[in-house]
Amino acid sequence: MATSIYPAQYSANLRSTAILDVENQEIQALARRFADAAVNGAARLRQIHNYLIGLLTPVYSVKEWQPASVTLVRKRGSCSQRMALLEATARAIGVPTRVRVLDVNGEFWYPRFRFWRIFVPDRILLLWPQFLLDGEWLDFDELHGPVTQLAKTSAHGFTNDAESLFEAVEHTPVDFLGKTCGLANAVAGHDLSRFVLADKGFFDTRDEALKHFGTFYGTWRGRAFELLFGDRKSSC
């Protein structure tokens, strides 16, 4: 694992976990591909993110406990699984991460499951990554630029019926936190905060958040979803 410049108070945001298995040799090998010290943390994370977009096939899955290394080896994963891989790789290059837990209305996923809504619960936990760069936490949705910048170049918001969350943040405001609200150059579709039912706070790791709140896969509906849709190629 790369040596971090951050003090001991962030050790939990860098350690290896069951999901973020940072010490796995495949994760370490991926991190070494982006070991150029001349490139700063934010730029390296963007490079890693773009690399993973090209490498990983988006599929449906609600197996939130899948280790990041498994996603990397299989070269496929859900949005959440791919975010976890990005977090694990960030930790491997010495960038602390954490997640913000949002309770999102199931209607947000209806465009993808127009005829299968019975398998979509009323509320779904979204574990939204953050990265500690230059002493400040950067939301995943602003990894490629602030929402003010993304709003200028995006004619519409994220509609969840085509490309994935994981891909869209590169060029579209995926704004669950209402950052675009009131922006002169924003359109109504940019602000996704209307789907957020509750903000459940920050956790140092995905593992802790899932232990605290449980998983969709742990329900009958989640297991049925995985049986029907699991590992099927998708746009999310």
Q: Domain total for the chain? A: 1
* In-domain check, residue 138: yes
Predicted confidence at residue 219, as pLDDT, reads 92
Question: What pTM does this model have?
Answer: 0.93
Report the C-alpha gap between 195 and 80 in whole angstroms.
18
**Number of Cβ atoms within 10 Å of the Cβ of 211:** 13
Tokens 């934010």 correspond to what residue? 42
The DSSP bridge partners found for residue 54 are none
Helices (H), the chain: 25-32, 41-55, 68-74, 79-92, 147-153, 165-168, 206-213, 220-229
Give per-residue pLDDT as tens, 90-147: 999 999 999 999 999 999 999 988 878 888 899 999 999 999 998 999 999 999 999 8
Least confident of 56-60, 66-70, 162-166: 162-166
Full residue range of the structural domain in which residue 82 is found: 8-217
* In-domain check, residue 73: yes
* In-domain check, residue 228: no
Question: Which CATH number covers residue 187?
Answer: 3.10.620.30
CB 106 within 8 A of CB 93: no
* In-domain check, residue 233: no
Report the C-alpha gap between 123 and 43 in whole angstroms.
34
CB 52 within 8 A of CB 85: yes
* In-domain check, residue 190: yes
